[in-house]
Structure 1
Amino acid sequence: MSLRANRVGEQLKKELGEIIGRKIKDPRIGFVTVTDVQVTGDLQQATVYISVLGDEEQRENTLKGLAKAKGFIRSEIGNRIRLRKTPEIAFEFDESIDYGNRIETLLTKIHNEEKQSGNDKEE
């Protein structure tokens, strides 16, 4: 990925966080964090990675709400960032956060089990 695409991605991430957090009033959209934005080298496509607080239903509703608001989001981006053409936006869940949480849970479980077996030996 080019340096320019990286810079545009970072700018999009900042602006999208603000637009989604403050401008969109769709009740389906829960608490969203924009974790990353990957922009293609030609700046035509942007994949926006999000994490959503809540259960699976909340996540799906948020994705539907964001898909519905895509036109509005693109026009807001167009007003805020000076680009010849505003990139097409696709929203995806950032699975790395769930993956990290799962690893954290497993490590805690292992740690607690080791502590338990350590206590059993002392008795």
Structure 2
Amino acid sequence: MAKEYARTQRVADYLQKELASLLQREVRDPRVGMVSVTGVQVSRDLGHARVYFTLLGADSADEAKESAEALNGMAGFLRSQLSRDSTMRSVPQLRFYFDTSVGRGRDMEDLIRRAADADRKLGLRDDETPEDQ
């Protein structure tokens, strides 16, 4: 079973690298914009792949909806390009999803920064809590 996981992970890593390259070199659709492939999850049978992407200037899935539709529309083309360049017996079906984790990370960073600023205004040191005063 561990071997199967290693294979799906290797396929996912390969797809992420190759899709990022293909999107940069081959895709000229203006709806796609500045897309980065952030991750790929491949099913255990290697038949399907969920491709996660971020879009420059988009913080939500609604803002990236047009790009997601364009990417899903060209999934067949990308799949054929991957099959031409790889030695895989079959290339998984591709489905693109906007990756919201980057936006959530930015929100968490902002919350932490605001909490640290509030502590500084109260005159607390980094290792001190309000109860210690």
Q: Which runs of 4+ in 1 moved over 4 A?
A: none
Is 1:44 the counterpart of 2:47 in the alignment?
Answer: yes
Between the two proteins, the alignment pairs up a number of residues equal to 119
Q: In the alignment, what sits opposite 1:100? A: 105
- Contact 1:8/1:39 (CA < 8 Å) preserved in 2? yes
| Structure 1: runs of 5+ lacking an equivalent | none
Residue 33 of structure 1: how far off its partner (Å): 1.0
Deviates more, 1:86-95 or 1:57-66: 57-66
- Whichever residue aligns with residue 63 of structure 1, its letter is A
Q: Distance in 2 between matches of 1:19 and 1:67?
A: 14
1:117 aligns with 2:118: no
Pairing partner for 1:84 from 79, 89, 107: 89
Which of these two proteins has the greater Rg computed from alpha carbons? 2
Please report the TM-score for the alignment, with normalisation by the length of structure 1: 0.88
Matched, 1:22 2:54: no
Spell out, residue by residue over 1:51-107, the C-alpha distance to the aligned partner (whole angstroms, 9 max, x if none). 111135651221121112111111111112211111000111222212111110100
TM-score (norm 2): 0.82
User: Residues 21-68 of structure 1: CA distance to partner in whole angstroms, max 9, x if unpaired?
Assistant: 121000011111111111111110000011111135651221121112
SS at match of 1:46: strand
Query: Between the two proteins, what is the percent identity of the paired residues?
Result: 34
Q: How does 1:70-81 map to 2 (within 5 A)?
A: 70-81=75-86
Secondary structure at the residue paired with 2:39? strand
Q: Which runs of 5+ in 2 are unaligned?
A: 125-133
In structure 1, distance between residues paired with 2:100 and 2:29:
24
Partner of 2:74: 69
Distance in 2 separating the partners of 1:8 and 1:100: 27
Aligned-pair CA distance for 1:117? 2.4
User: Would the aligned equivalents of 1:30 and 1:58 in 2 still touch at CA under 8 Å?
Assistant: no
